[in-house]
Structure 1
């Protein structure tokens, strides 16, 4: 009975922590609203149309400042990619130029990009990037959806392991892109900064609001709103950070089925081998 009472006390304490956790988490980072994503959950998959829209936003808006150096053009046509054909990828790559070399004379030269190339950076180096952005360094988009996420705090990260909640990065990016607002009374924003309560490193961010309604033209009839743009580019950034997510989930599911089946075999084998042995 005493063991049962202890278990009840532990569960009660855990429940109390769960109720209090939002207050603790709120002090550790900005509040992040959970969004609905097609790739959420253990069986979630990417929406190819959404990924292509997000890629369009990256090319037309974000690529002027942000690099995508860990993604190669050929990744767009691979299984689990954006659904482009190899010919479409070659056409996309041909729109870019990359530095290559050295040639026979020892000089570097530029050439049209090919499928095996990575997306070229908009700036030759970090100093040039900072000089063009008021001292701020635009982060690379390749892993941003996994690297930028508000800390959930205890015990939420424990629950996330069981609920398979892995979308905190896209949730944060969406909140950041839609979170620009006028600074409240009494809050001073430094010159060249913009007020955004969703920003991880304080409320003042060096990036001007990058998106607005009707900024990018969609050809599939999807609403051209700030919210839709933000969601599409956040989904694309999640794909860029984990392009093999769908394959990982499929393998994980098969492994879990195998382990459950194998555990059952071990249990019944043990029962059969030891059924005539007195304990």
Structure 2
């Protein structure tokens, strides 16, 4: 009797799961999902063409230096680069003396050798770029309860990363009236900012690039909002993968070697089996 009850309960459970699956699949196939504001108004990133794009791409060092300047003067107020060492700036074309001077312009956490207490000191080339906040609690308190993400790997962490960063920086705008008419409940909450390139359309970060000339470039390039956004996107592409040109340069010889080895192996196989005749099928008389 107990065995019968167990079998009946198992069969009932299996049939319930099967029924739920069938009805759910039928509903998904016949009833379209309700449209949401995020689905209707979210935009894919704009096109962004950088010197590092493509199989033969390389770095535009002048643009990377401009992007670093934008990061230092604008983005570093909220975002860290905890995986990038200051000595890596030599890869951007800075001399050793310039890297030391640049590192010294940053303030990093340190320890007083006399008292052992935490303090601050000028940065050194071996230091990593510091966080603007002592901890996540302080970061959230200063940014409408949102913790600014580290930007070291941002262009690797997002689809179309370089274009995503560029689009996000240039995409802040007022909510379209069409959105508010169609989705009245989707009004941007107080303290957030509308940006159609962000997944849920609203983010805590205020527009960081607010006017042309916000940064004065040393090479005389006109610092429009669009130019600054492109430059810092290129810089963050470098921070995410500084060895990318070497990877591409190494990839072509490797592909060439593999192609040569494949051809050589095929020719060797043809040579080895050239004197072997295929066996003939014997047929009964």
Which of 128, 143, 149 lines up with 1:139 in the alignment? Answer: 149
Unaligned runs of 5+ in 2: 1-37, 181-185, 279-285
Name 1:236's counterpart in structure 2: 235
Task: Check the 8 A contact 1:51/1:236 in 2, yes or no.
Answer: yes
Which of 48, 61, 74 lines up with 2:74 in the alignment? Answer: 61
Unaligned runs of 5+ in 1: 1-25, 150-167
How far, CA to CA, are the matches of 2:53 and 2:277 in structure 1? 50
Structure 2 CA distance for partners of 1:258 and 1:103, relative to 1, 3 Å: same
Question: How many residues are paired up?
Answer: 232
Aligned residue for 2:256, secondary structure, equals helix
Range 216-225 or range 241-250, more displaced: 216-225
How far, CA to CA, are the matches of 2:74 and 2:88 in structure 1? 21
TM-score normalised to structure 2 length: 0.77
Are 1:203 and 2:201 matched, yes or no? yes
Q: Please list, as runs of the form range in 1=range in 2, the aligned pairs for 1:66-85 lying within 5 A after superposition.
A: 66-77=79-90, 81-85=91-95
Please report how far the alpha carbon of residue 110 of structure 1 lies from its aligned counterpart in structure 2 after TM superposition.
Answer: 2.4
TM-score normalised to structure 1 length: 0.79
Which is higher, the Rg of structure 1 or of structure 2? 2
How far, CA to CA, are the matches of 1:30 and 1:276 in structure 2? 64
Q: Please list, as runs of the form range in 1=range in 2, the aligned pairs for 1:251-270 lying within 5 A after superposition.
A: 251-270=250-269
Please report how far the alpha carbon of residue 224 of structure 1 lies from its aligned counterpart in structure 2 after TM superposition.
Answer: 1.6
Are 1:93 and 2:103 matched, yes or no? yes
Cα distance per residue 1:75-134 (max 9 Å; x no partner): 111xxx211111110000011122233736432332221111101111111111111112
Are 1:172 and 2:164 matched, yes or no? yes
Structure 2 CA distance for partners of 1:270 and 1:102, relative to 1, 3 Å: farther
Q: Please list, as runs of the form range in 1=range in 2, the aligned pairs for 1:34-49 lying within 5 A after superposition.
A: 34-49=47-62
How far, CA to CA, are the matches of 1:217 and 1:142 in structure 2? 24
User: Superposition RMSD on alpha carbons, in Å?
Assistant: 1.7
